[in-house]
Amino acid sequence: MTAQARLIIVVLLALMLLSGIWLWRRLAATPPPPMLGRPSATLTPTAEATPTPLAAPPGYRLAGVAVGEPDSFVVVESPNGAHTLYRVNAEVPGLGRVVRIDAEHVVVESPEGQFEMWLAPAPTETPTPIRTVVPMPARMPGTPTVRRVPRAPAAGIAPRSRP
């Protein structure tokens, strides 16, 4: 094959590549053709009643969540103060079945429908103790403020003794 034939093949391949790119861009930029036929009726928005989300029964609290692979767990506090650990598909007495566990909430399926429980802090029933300042004992006059710690003697030197 001669050099002239190779040059013609390379030019033809370049032209085919450029025309393919041009055609691809043109097809991607064109809007879809309009629909033919009779005009469609305009849709008017209708107000639909959105169901009110269910709330968790009072007294229950999501105390903790542990998301992991392959299992995730939740800690639910019941109205009597007991904490119990549950997995997905476990039945929580008084609530329902645990459907999904996420990082900060859990979805529970009850006979009335599904509801979410979000992590909630524990109520503080005991008051926080008040801190009091304890006075330091007074120093005796002439007492140094820094306590001196004796150093270990250097190698080869005998320690001094005091009477």
* CATH class of the domain at 61-118: mainly beta
Of the listed ranges 67-81, 95-109, 136-150, the one predicted with least confidence: 136-150
pTM of the model: 0.45
Contact 77, 121 (CB under 8 A): no
Token duo for residue 17:
């590549």
More confident: 80 or 156:
80
Side chain identity at 26, as an amino acid letter? R
- In degrees, to the nearest 5, what angle opens at C-alpha 163 toward C-alphas 153 and 150? 30
Give the Cα separation of 68 and 7 in Å (integer): 62
Average pLDDT, the chain: 78
- The pLDDT-based confidence of 41 (bands split at 50, 70, 90) is low
More confident: 48 or 112:
112
19-35 pLDDT, tens digit per residue, is 888 888 877 776 666 66
Q: What pLDDT was estimated at residue 74?
A: 93
Whether the pLDDT of residue 11 is over 90: the answer is yes
Token duo for residue 82:
């007991």
Domain definitions of the chain by residue range: 61-118
Side chain identity at 139, as an amino acid letter? R
**Burial tier of 21 (Cβ tally within 10 Å: 0-12, 13-18, 19+):** exposed
Positive or negative, the Cα torsion across 117, 62, 80, 59?
negative
